[in-house]
Amino acid sequence: MKIAILSRNKKLYSTRRLVEAAQLRGHDVDVIDTLHCYMDITSNNPTVRYKGEALPQYDAVIPRIGASVSFYGTSVVRQFEMMGTFSINESVAISRSRDKLRSMQLLSRKGIGLPRTGFAHQPDNIKDLIKNVGGAPVVIKLLEGTQGIGVVLGETTKAAESIIEAFMGLKANILVQEFIKEADGADIRCLVVGDKVIAAMKRQAQAGEFRSNLHRGGKAEIVKLSKEERDTAVRAAKVMGLNLCGVDLLRSSRGPVVMEVNSSPGLEGIEAATGKDIAAIIYQFIEKNAKPHSTKTRGKG
Ligand code: ADP
């Protein structure tokens, strides 16, 4: 097959692994820098141009769109969809997953377990906002944060109020969430491909830290999931409309709760923790499912 990986950097582990695995399986693979693609969006014969030439017709694209380039990246994916190319994750689904609040509203509507969560911009009753998610301790998150930056534990009502006020002063969108204490500093990353969890790892925070991000010194290890955890991850992926994603769960006393669904999950941590050839499994899915003009929203959404 002729496959394009949309990635800003050929040297990233995930991009390298996807190239390697494609070549091993006999595919013809190109890495295309998303931000360098340009296109005539009014043409009725949609094409994508790159380095002075029209790109060939690909059978499939694998978008690896970083959060900071979501807006332009998803429009490039949409253009490929209009050309009839299969994208492992549709542009609409990627946009949906990039909006944390929209994602949580969708997941909640479908009855998927979530930490009790409130969101606000300029609340005029902060005490009520805190009380509404069950009271302190609460986790306060900056909506635009990644890698655990902007995720703070408000241990007491007083502390939580001060943090919320500080974020409000910055005019940031915030999310106030029930603290899942019993997760004990660990979260579970489930890698979903199609309708299966193909790998899972547990990330455990350093002693004295509740954030398990590997960038914050968390350690990853292989984990066995319960059926309920698997079902939750697969359902969350389905609600978001993603064929390839990382679903982050916390083990709460009332069962698994979804923290986040990531549409460009990294392969390095999870391949290392599980020893699985995730890149190969991604291609098995593409080989089976990539059909021309199969994008549900046909780039319209
Ligand atoms: P980011 O997207 O920046 O990584 P997360 O929302 O994933 O931020 O939070 C970072 C880490 O903090 C999570 O991996 C988890 O270990 C911990 N955490 C986040 N929310 C909660 C919560 N409500 N209860 C307990 N721990 C949490």
Q: Whose CA is nearest to atom 15 of ligand 1?
A: 211
Domain 182-287: CATH superfamily is ATP-grasp fold, B domain (3.30.470.20)
Q: What is the CATH number of domain 117-179?
A: 3.30.1490.20
Alpha-helical (H) ranges within 25-141 are: 70-82, 91-98, 100-109, 126-132
- Rounded to whole angstroms, the Cα distance separating 26 from 45 reads 30
Question: Is the beta carbon of 183 within 6 A of some atom in ligand 1?
Answer: yes
Domain boundaries along the sequence of the chain: 2-96, 117-179, 182-287
Instruction: Check whether 300 has a pLDDT greater than 50.
Output: no
| Residue 161 · residue 174 · CB < 8 Å | no
Ligand 1 atom at shortest distance from the alpha carbon of 149: 3
Ligand 1 atom at shortest distance from the alpha carbon of 212: 16
Instruction: Check whether 144 has a pLDDT greater than 80.
Output: no
| pLDDT, position 297 | 64
Question: Is the beta carbon of 148 within 6 A of some atom in ligand 1?
Answer: yes
Per the model's pLDDT, the better-predicted residue between 246 and 171 turns out to be 246
Question: Is the beta carbon of 214 within 6 A of some atom in ligand 1?
Answer: no
Q: 105-115, pLDDT tens digit by residue? A: 999 999 999 99
In the 3-class helix/strand/coil scheme, how is 193-239 assigned residue by residue? ECCEEEEEEEEECCCCCCCCCHHHCCEEEECCCCHHHHHHHHHHHHH
* Ligand 1 pocket: which of 101, 149, 163, 213 to mutate (most atoms within 8 A of CB): 213
| Residue 269 · residue 214 · CB < 8 Å | yes
- Name the percent of the chain lying above pLDDT 90: 82
Per the model's pLDDT, the better-predicted residue between 246 and 44 turns out to be 246
- CATH 1.10.3720.10 given to domain 2-96: no
- Rounded to whole angstroms, the Cα distance separating 144 from 150 reads 8
| Residue 54 · residue 47 · CB < 8 Å | yes
Question: Is the beta carbon of 247 within 6 A of some atom in ligand 1?
Answer: no
**Residue 148 alpha carbon to ligand 1 centre in Å:** 7
Cis ω for the linkage preceding 46 (within 30 of 0):
no
Question: Is the beta carbon of 206 within 6 A of some atom in ligand 1?
Answer: no
